[in-house]
Amino acid sequence: MPDVRIFPDLEGASQEAARLFAAAASEAIADHYRFSVALSGGPTPRRLYQLLAAEPYRSQLPWGQIHFFWGDERYVPANHAESNYRMAKEALLDHISIPVDNIHPMPTDAPEIEQAARVHSAELQIFFDGDICFDLALMGIGDDGHTASLFADDPALTVRDKPVAVARPTSQPTDRLTLTYPIFNRTRRVLFLVSGQEKALVVARVLAGDAAYPCTGIQPTGELIWLLDQAAAASLGEVK
Ligand SMILES: O=C1O[C@H](COP(=O)(O)O)[C@@H](O)[C@H](O)[C@H]1O
């Protein structure tokens, strides 16, 4: 059974996520002197990022030992309204004292998206010395059951031999880059943050193991925690 924690609202779930982020950072840094995180995009994690950019975390977290990557990115310029990097930059990165070398966005400026996937794969291999293993992946879920940019019926779902895949979801206006299942599933801790009634049914189905949803494929060997607000938890128990 996954570890599912329910909070009255997104604020409560985000506060728990910030606490877990700080605990995971201190454990990773004590063990191997740095903390590598894959961030999620979309609107849900914005409050978490704002909390990390505020006291006490802003002063207390050892930002020089924390490295930010992204779990997925829309193939748009870095200053685009849809950019996952831009959201994290505005909510978090612009407000903390972190070396620029610790920020590793997925590139979105190559003429071909396949080239960007190769460049970022190479960056990951170098950073992790050939053994890609994040300390923490922050994740969300769409109401269609996608997570990161792993969408149903998209070829990115089947990529097993590369850390970064190109996603071309037919439901979305732009192509995307995404980390692949093997990378998420060897992450030390995966933390889902989910809010809103429109996610309730899909969350219940994913937690019941319905393989129709890409999110169900996230089964890390490490720790898996779901932080839900009450609205997102509303259908738990209705789906077997
Ligand atoms: O498209 C995306 O959506 C998912 C879910 O976002 P949420 O704000 O509804 O939780 C997100 O995790 C992913 O990073 C993003 O690109």
- In the chain, the DSSP E strands lie at 3-7, 35-39, 66-70, 72-74, 136-139, 164-167, 176-179, 189-194, 223-229
Between the CA of 140 and the centroid of ligand 1 the distance, in Å, is 5
Rounded Cα distance between 196 and 161, Å, is 35
**How many domains is the chain built from?**
1
Query: What's the pLDDT band for 2 if we cut at 50, 70, 90?
Result: confident
In a domain, 143, yes or no: yes
In a domain, 240, yes or no: no
The structure's pTM equals: 0.97
Contact in structure between 66 and 35 (CB atoms under 8 Å): yes
- Who's near 45: CB < 8 A, 6+ residues apart? 14, 17, 39, 88, 138, 140, 193
Rounded Cα distance between 156 and 235, Å, is 29
CA 144 to chain centre: 17
Q: Does the predicted interface ipTM exceed a cut of 0.90? A: yes
What is the average pLDDT across 128-137?
98
pLDDT at 89 over 90: yes
pLDDT at 238 over 90: no
**Which residue's C-alpha comes closest to atom 12 of ligand 1?**
140
What is the extent of the structural domain holding 31? Answer: 3-229
CATH number at residue 103: 3.40.50.1360
Q: Average pLDDT of the chain?
A: 97
Query: Residues 213-236: pLDDT tens digits?
Result: 999 999 999 999 999 999 999 999
Closest CA to 91 of 9, 190, 14, 191: 14
Q: Which residues line ligand 1 (CB under 6 A)?
A: 40-44, 71-72, 84, 139-142, 147-149
